[in-house]
Amino acid sequence: MIDVQRVQALLKNRYPNLESVGQGVFRGVDRFGARDYAIRYFDLNDRLATTVDSLKSYQEEVLSPMYFSSAVATDLRWNHYLYFVTSDEEANKGEFGRLKAKVEADREYARKQVVREGEIADLLADAQVPESLTALPIDLATTWANTLQQHGLAFILDSDVSIPDAVRRIVAGTKDGASRPISPVALLAAEQAAASHFIEHLTIKGFRTHPEEKDHSLGRVNLIVGSNGVGKTSLLEAIEFAYCGKNRRSSTLLNNTSITADLFGVEHKLSSTTDATRLRARHSNWYAKTEVKTVTVQDSFGRFNFLDTDAAVQLSVSTSSVQIGTDVTRLVLGAMAENLADRLRRVLKQLQDELKDLRRDKMSNEQLKLAAQTRLDAIKTAPKLSDSLFLELLAALKGQGWSQPPDEKGQLEALRERLQEATSTIALVRHSSISTLHAEPDSALRLLTKLNDEARKAEALAQRAKAARLAQANARREAQEVAELSAATEALLPYARINFPQLVKQASECRDRVRTRNTRLSQVVNLGNASAIQQFLEMPVANAIDLVDTEIEGHQRRHDAAQTALHALEKTQSTMTVLRQRLLGTAQDILQRSGNSDHCPLCRTEFEEGQLLARMMADVAEVTSEQANLLRVNISSASEAMANTRAMLALLRPLHAFVGNSALTVTVAQALEQIAQERTAVDRDQHELDTIQAQALQLQSDGLSSKDLSSKFLTAGITELPALEELQRIQSNHKETLETLQSAEKFALHELDLVRQECDAMAERLSMEALGDTDKLVRLVKELISAAEAALGARQILATILTISNEATAEEIALNLAAIQQLLAQVATAVAQEGANDKALNDETKNVDGLVKKIENSSTKITCASNAELVLKTLAKESSGGELESQILTENAAEIARTFASIHMPNEFEIQIAQGKLVIIRRSTGAEVQLEHMSTGQRAAFALSLFLAMNGRLRSGPPMLLFDDPVAHIDDINVLSFLDHLRQLAIGGSRQIFFATADTKLAGLFRHKFRFLGDEFKELRLSRTS
């Protein structure tokens, strides 16, 4: 049973205006200023089991009058709460858990909660936020910095120093000097005020997507709405920038970025700055953190004021426990801590690698040193051979009679050159055909002179042979030419004998004559019978033609006149015929019309039947044409006369053409006579031509033709055929010349034979083989001379190098020289070997010294590095074990648990501290639950709890809470809890809240929950166009 009196008293205490709205049901209204913001119903009937089944109607009955009342703001509809207070006896019944879950999951009308009687006091106290620890939680970076400082390793955390650089410094054992004392920098008035005042007005200029100036009026709670990408996060980051001068999320800043915050009730404005001193001062005063180098105030701001949404989201969705640990660390210690831990781990890793390398180096150096020592000893014990070999060499040289033996081993190179020279000269001497080794200068000179004489003789022989060959060749060529000429002349003889050109000329003359006459006669060739022109015989031809022409004209005229007359006559006749026909028609007509057809109407005469008509017809037909016939006769006679005359003219015209210009004088008879004469002449010439052509045909069959003749002229070199005698004379001349030339050739051949004999004799004398070739002889002799000269020169050079003993042969000397060369090589090898040994000795000694130094160096480094490794290992272990994190979590466990409980429904989990660590306990089983086994929504709620707890610790810094779409993955009921929690914070007034979201539903709920603040609630609607 519930102690209704006591609970009612508690309620009355909390809500002085508590109303009873039904049996055992009370209503309390939460007010803020002049506005209600929540309506809470408390059911003390302890009849949950029966109420559940009719929950809807129960609510409609109890809640609806106020819910639908037009007197209350509609926002309150989303701020109804219904608490079913339950006694412990009820709560212990088996069904209770299910009932509770069912009731609390119902989303109509009011947020419902089933509370035990004992919990009611806590629930009512909920409004008061307990004062948490005043000091800020410890900070990883500071702790580590201190530890490292003690070991002089502070530079490891300095981000200016690269990791390999840091490792080098550790190994080198470089210690940091004493840390600079940090003189605290005072805050400006605005900065001081910023730690405790809200922003009233935010002016953004040149930040990211805000190139122009933007002005935002802000309230205690600010909802920033807009779809993705319109600048919600940028707005939050502008606030971050105003405080920190930089952003965690890297951003490109415009040159003129400036953000100014008007603080509520404060005269000075807080302006963004990038001045490191100012930021350092802010950092140290707001977040109690001193730093020497990089300013990381934005990291602390993020840790306390600006929910790291990425970490929160990752914490809720990641599946690996390692990643979850990292995310919790990031939330609790800040993003910087993660970087630092990461850096530390990397330094440690590299240091360990380095240490391994150093140790391996040291080991290998020691091995190297040992090997070098061994080699050194071996060199020291090596023998020396060069001296004895050199003595041997000197003895050999002496034996050979060397003129300038070397004094010391250093001259071996010169000796080798001379020896080489001697070897080559002796080779020359050996290969010379003339033995010159022991020749004296005089005899050698004689030998040379003799050889030169022989050479001159041979040259003379060669000259003679050449001249003879030339003479023979000339004679033979000329003889051939003459023989050809003679043959050509011989061929002309038949032509000369028959006088061929004369014959050709006659034939062509005769042909011309015949052609001329034929041309003349062709004009009169058709001249027929001349009897028609007998009358004109005595008349000149021209006159006859004129006469005939005149006659033709007369006939023509007559013919034309007759023709004209005939035409006229015919026309008249046809007219008459027509008229007659007409007359006939008329008459017939008249006859028909008159009564009696046999009665002439003109003369009244009476005819027999049909006679009158017959007469009329006969009369008309009776016309004749005598005159026409006469005229036709006339025309035909004129035509006949004209034809006769034209025939005469046709005979006369050729005659006129034949006689030509003399037509005026020559009579027709004469002309005829001339024609007859011409014809006779033609016949005669034709006959002659035929004779000549027959003769030519005969000659052609004998092989004589004018074409052949002209080619023979070309061969014989003459233009026209001379007379026969002349031709015969020329022919005999040719024969004489030929004989002379043939004898000259014979003489030349004889001379050649002589020369060859002499040549062979000479070759035999010089014991060579020339085979009669004089040129070869000359060449061989010259070779002999040069060989002798070379051998003699070589012998002279050899004499300067060594003394040639009389018994020695060239072969012997060559063998000795080869032996000496071999010996020399041995000496040189020995000398080189000894030099190398000396150098190696030096090197090895130095090597050993160097290695000893290196080993010492390594040892020092290893000591330094091992020490540092120890320190870093401790820190790393601390970090991965999460000691700091646990410490912070433990410190804040109460606050985290409280927040978690208030923003997480149903209360499935409980946060406790066990063995100095924060653990999450499942209420139903009492077993510990790892984060990765919780749902994403629960983890998201946990992340928010962590952040809100951290923020709760902040007293000295800006009183801000910045959320950027924080409730992904949280289910709707828990979103409501979270918003209620925020509302509680807002009412408390210690925090200015900025809440950005793209979710219109969430924005709507937020509006319903916070609009009661009136002017202190601001909604910033961002859109692309604005």
Partner 1 sequence: MLFLLAQLKTVACRDNRDVEQTSLCLGETVYAFNRGINSMSLISIICSDAFDFTEHIDAIHSNCLLIHIQLNPKPAHTDYAAYRTRLCSVGTNSHVELLCLNWAKNIQEVKAAGKYADWNNVAGSAWYAPPAKFSADDGHIDSLHRGGLYYCLLAQRWHSFFLNYEGQIIQLQKQKLLFPGEQALAPKNFVAIEERWSWNPGSTSWNSGAVANDGFADALAGYHAISEHLHLASQASPLAVERAIEILMGPGGNPASWYTVKELDAVHLDKDEESIRRVTVNQDPDLTRPGSAYRLQRLQRAHDAIMLAQNEVPWPPPVQDLANGFKLSWKRNSPHHNVEPNAGGRGPASLVYLSDQANNSAVESTHQKLRKALVTHAVNEACVAGKTGEEMSNAIVRAQDRLCIVFRRDNHFGARGPEGTNLIDTPASESPVDFSEDRS
What are the residues binding partner 1 (CB under 8 A)? 60, 64-65, 67-68, 70, 73-75, 77-78, 80, 107-111, 226-227, 230, 972-973, 975-976, 1000-1001, 1003-1005, 1007-1008, 1011, 1023-1025
- State which residue, 56 or 450, has the beta carbon closest to partner 1: 56
Smallest distance from the beta carbon of 52 to partner 1, in angstroms?
18
- State which residue, 47 or 1007, has the beta carbon closest to partner 1: 1007
Smallest distance from the beta carbon of 1000 to partner 1, in angstroms?
6
- State which residue, 230 or 871, has the beta carbon closest to partner 1: 230
Smallest distance from the beta carbon of 877 to partner 1, in angstroms?
46
Q: Which residues contact 751 (CB under 8 A, 6 or more apart)?
A: 464, 468, 471
Residue type, position 851, single letter: L
- State which residue, 277 or 1000, has the beta carbon closest to partner 1: 1000
906 preceded by cis ω (within 30°)? yes
Instruction: Tell me the Ramachandran region of residue 610: left when phi exceeds 0, alpha when psi lies from -120 to 50, beta otherwise.
Output: left
Burial class of 586 by CB neighbour count within 10 A (0 to 12, 13 to 18, 19+) = exposed
Q: Give the closest residue to 658 by CA, choosing from 644, 679, 684, 681.
A: 679
- State which residue, 475 or 1003, has the beta carbon closest to partner 1: 1003
Smallest distance from the beta carbon of 230 to partner 1, in angstroms?
7
Instruction: Tell me the Ramachandran region of residue 180: left when phi exceeds 0, alpha when psi lies from -120 to 50, beta otherwise.
Output: beta
Residue with tokens 């109420």: 51
Helix ranges (H only) for 660-723 are: 668-701, 706-716
> 157 near 179, Cβ under 8 Å?
no
- State which residue, 58 or 241, has the beta carbon closest to partner 1: 58
- State which residue, 721 or 976, has the beta carbon closest to partner 1: 976
- CA separation for the pair 571, 530 (Å, rounded): 45
In this structure, the chain runs to a length of 1026
Smallest distance from the beta carbon of 966 to partner 1, in angstroms?
17
- State which residue, 107 or 466, has the beta carbon closest to partner 1: 107
- CA separation for the pair 524, 540 (Å, rounded): 17
- Other Cβ atoms closer than 10 A to 129: 14
Smallest distance from the beta carbon of 1007 to partner 1, in angstroms?
7
- State which residue, 76 or 820, has the beta carbon closest to partner 1: 76
| Strand order across the beta sheet in which 917-922 lies | 909-914, 917-922, 928-929
- State which residue, 110 or 389, has the beta carbon closest to partner 1: 110
- State which residue, 571 or 1024, has the beta carbon closest to partner 1: 1024
Reading the block at residue 157, the tokens are: 């955390």
Smallest distance from the beta carbon of 68 to partner 1, in angstroms?
4
- State which residue, 235 or 548, has the beta carbon closest to partner 1: 235
> 107 near 972, Cβ under 8 Å?
yes
Pair type for strands 80-86 and 35-43 = parallel
> 709 near 500, Cβ under 8 Å?
yes
Q: Give the closest residue to 491 by CA, choosing from 774, 714, 328.
A: 714
Residue type, position 848, single letter: V
- State which residue, 355 or 979, has the beta carbon closest to partner 1: 979
CA atoms within a 13 Å half-sphere pointing along the CA-CB vector of 815: 5
- State which residue, 69 or 627, has the beta carbon closest to partner 1: 69
Buried b (16+ CB within 10 A) or exposed e, 696-724: beebeeeebeeeebeebbeebeeeebbee
Smallest distance from the beta carbon of 972 to partner 1, in angstroms?
4
Smallest distance from the beta carbon of 1023 to partner 1, in angstroms?
4
- State which residue, 77 or 359, has the beta carbon closest to partner 1: 77
Smallest distance from the beta carbon of 1011 to partner 1, in angstroms?
5
> 40 near 970, Cβ under 8 Å?
no
Reading the block at residue 26, the tokens are: 């009370």
Smallest distance from the beta carbon of 947 to partner 1, in angstroms?
23
Longest dimension (CA), the chain: 203
Q: Which residues contact 182 (CB under 8 A, 6 or more apart)?
A: 284, 290, 292
Reading the block at residue 464, the tokens are: 């003679």
Smallest distance from the beta carbon of 75 to partner 1, in angstroms?
7
Smallest distance from the beta carbon of 979 to partner 1, in angstroms?
10
Smallest distance from the beta carbon of 942 to partner 1, in angstroms?
21
Sign of CA dihedral 153, 154, 157, 160: negative
- State which residue, 744 or 973, has the beta carbon closest to partner 1: 973
Smallest distance from the beta carbon of 67 to partner 1, in angstroms?
7
Smallest distance from the beta carbon of 55 to partner 1, in angstroms?
13
Smallest distance from the beta carbon of 71 to partner 1, in angstroms?
11
- State which residue, 154 or 903, has the beta carbon closest to partner 1: 903
- CA separation for the pair 138, 887 (Å, rounded): 9
Burial class of 212 by CB neighbour count within 10 A (0 to 12, 13 to 18, 19+) = exposed
- State which residue, 319 or 1025, has the beta carbon closest to partner 1: 1025
| Strand order across the beta sheet in which 992-997 lies | 960-964, 992-997, 221-225, 1017-1021
Residue type, position 35, single letter: R
How open is the CA angle 910-916-922, to the nearest 5 degrees? 20
Q: Give the closest residue to 893 by CA, choosing from 875, 920, 871, 866.
A: 920
DSSP annotation of 306 reads: B
Smallest distance from the beta carbon of 28 to partner 1, in angstroms?
18
Q: Give the closest residue to 261 by CA, choosing from 356, 313, 194.
A: 194
